[in-house]
Copies of this chain bind each other. A is one copy, B any other.
Amino acid sequence: MLVLITYDVNTETTAGKARLRKVAKQCVNYGRRVQNSVFECLLDQAQCIALKAKLTELIDEEVDSLRFYYLGNKYQTKVDHVGVDHGLAADQVLIL
């Protein structure tokens, strides 16, 4: 299924900047970056649980946030893009 992950990491501190890098790095392992703080990942249930646990561990829940949107398997018609696009499709199907 397609899981959209968005995050806000507070980068006012050096520790925050480090958290941001770690979160982005972890997401890169699982999907493609479609915008600065937005990743699209094709995951099965187990991968999704694992990634969520890893990211939750990385952030500071007092100041950062993660959001997960579950778009299912029929996601091709559920996404629209306008403007510049530097990314690659998660499964090479999203670019139409």
Contact = CB atoms under 8 A, between A and B. Distances in A.
Contacts of A7: 35
A30 to B, nearest CB: 15
A17 to B, nearest CB: 15
A8 interface: yes
Interface residues of A, number: 34
Contacts of A55: 82
Interface in A1-35: 4, 6-8, 34-35
Contacts of A36: 8, 37
Given A59-B83, A71-B71, 19 more contacts: A6-B6, A6-B35, A8-B35, A35-B65, A37-B37, A38-B38, A52-B82, A59-B82, A60-B83, A61-B82, A64-B83, A64-B84, A65-B81, A66-B81, A66-B83, A67-B80, A68-B80, A68-B82, A71-B78
